Structure 1
Amino acid sequence: MTYITKDKALTINGKTWWVNSQKSGLFKPMLVSMIYQLDVMLTHHSKVHVLRFDLRLYKYTDDNKIIEVFLRRLKKWLKRKYELKRVGYAWARELETAKNQHYHFALFLNGHKINYPQELIKKILAIASQIDTSAFIPDNCYYNIKRGDYESIQAAIWRLSYLAKARGKGYKAKQTKNYGTSKLLPQTSLKV
């Protein structure tokens, strides 16, 4: 059973965050998974670059295979270009008034290696066009957050909470997921 919350704040791992639960509410398990992956990145890196974008499909699909292809290509490029050891991410599938689903994305990257997304955005747009989708980059699409800086992390989490909104979810084949996240594990001793 899916748990939808309309709470304006959530406590996760002992920290309380303001979330954007207006109107349809938020899928709490989805949001907790997303915030957990961001938290994990902050155990590995004292600075994390968060980039928000969307992928729009030209035709409906019953599965999320396009996301697997997109992520595989993007992660390969990121690891080669920036020598990243890990790529954190979260995505959410939605279908509202359009006939085709779209995906909201957030990337969590080592902020010591990338802090401005201009080249990354070009690559996202290129990969999207190669796999017959289009990418949309919203205004104010990125955050540079620092471990221990509640305000910078809070701003990113407020934005991430939009991905977990209940509206537009569930219109999919039974076996298809509404969202996905990276599976990064926390660093046991904090590194810079």
Structure 2
Amino acid sequence: MQQPVLSLPQSINLLTSHRDNGHYTLIHSTTYIHNGLAYKLNHDPLSKRSSPIRKEIIDRFIEQLHAMLSHYDELFAFRFDLSVPEGMSVAESNKLVSKLFTKLRGEFTAKSWNGQRIVNCGYGWGGEIETAKQLHYHCWIALPYFQVRTAGFADTGIVGRINRIWSELTNGASRVHVPEGRYRIKRGDHGSLVDMVERISYIAKNRGKYSTGKGQQTFSASRVKFKTAITLH
């Protein structure tokens, strides 16, 4: 396996290509350039405890955030984690996570969000399983700020809805955890986007990804289309 040169911790786009358990590319640098813009990643190439980032995942996440910013001047975003019932297969739990976002989008069609429905919702998820640990999922969601300005709690707001839907899908056997960090992302303020990307790059870390190379998903994301070709930076 090709090994990266780690002498420059601030090196940019230090990549290696891999074909074990599928074909993927790893980013071994702290700073990453995507479409001419620089982002910080949750990775320290000098630390043995830190994991390189999967390029295919972080690229998709960045593109979806930009797509959302083509529709809205400001976004509200946060990360959340999902546990799954013990012993559930990867294929089955992947389907449940997809159903979660499908049902959540369905609830956005009601005109109860600042008197309107939420037209576009950006999101992404990544499955993770490490030695002697149960499969779990790290997720993020980005919504129009003029309609959603808080994550809520276990029984209210967006978090309340996620918690209720996930409990229904898993028959109350699993939970939702919302770590610290809420993000207000503004079009034209690249720094606000950098903070969010650094936060969700953790979801794209290579450690714990379980792909067998046989079509088993390790991540997914929304499919928001760009509204215009406006400059977002």
> TM-score, normalised on structure 1?
0.92
Please list, as runs of the form range in 1=range in 2, the aligned pairs for 1:14-53 lying within 5 A after superposition: 14-22=36-44, 23-53=50-80
Please list, as runs of the form range in 1=range in 2, the aligned pairs for 1:12-161 lying within 5 A after superposition: 12-22=34-44, 23-59=50-86, 60-63=88-91, 64-80=94-110, 81-82=112-113, 83-118=117-152, 119-132=157-170, 133-140=174-181, 142-161=182-201
For residues 140-174 of structure 1, give each alpha carbon's deviation from its aligned partner in whole angstroms, at most 9, with x where no partner exists.
2x211100112211111110111100010025683
Number of aligned residue pairs: give it.
Answer: 189
> Counterpart in 2 of 1:187?
227
Letter in 1 for 2:119: K
Call closer, same or farther: CA 1:173–1:54 in 2, change over 3 Å. farther
| Aligned-residue RMSD, C-alpha | 1.6
Q: Find the aligned partners of 2:74 and 2:53 in 1 and give their Cα distance.
A: 27
> What is the CA-CA distance between 1:61 and the residue it aligns to?
1.3
> What is the CA-CA distance between 1:77 and the residue it aligns to?
1.2
Q: Find the aligned partners of 1:181 and 1:98 in 2 and give their Cα distance.
A: 27
Letter in 2 for 1:110: P
Q: Find the aligned partners of 2:130 and 2:211 in 1 and give their Cα distance.
A: 8
For residues 4-25 of structure 1, give each alpha carbon's deviation from its aligned partner in whole angstroms, at most 9, with x where no partner exists.
1111111112211111123220
Q: Find the aligned partners of 2:132 and 2:142 in 1 and give their Cα distance.
A: 28
Percent identity between matched residues is: 28
Query: RCO (CA 8 Å, sep 6+): is it higher in 1 or 2?
Result: 1
The SS at the match of 2:208 is coil
Q: Find the aligned partners of 2:131 and 2:229 in 1 and give their Cα distance.
A: 46
Gaps of 5+ in 1: none
State which structure, 1 or 2, has the greater radius of gyration over its C-alpha atoms. 2
Q: Find the aligned partners of 1:68 and 1:122 in 2 and give their Cα distance.
A: 18
The SS at the match of 1:145 is strand
Q: Find the aligned partners of 1:136 and 1:161 in 2 and give their Cα distance.
A: 18
Q: Higher helix share goes to which structure?
A: 1
Q: Find the aligned partners of 1:56 and 1:77 in 2 and give their Cα distance.
A: 22
Select which of 14, 20, 26 maps to 1:4: 26
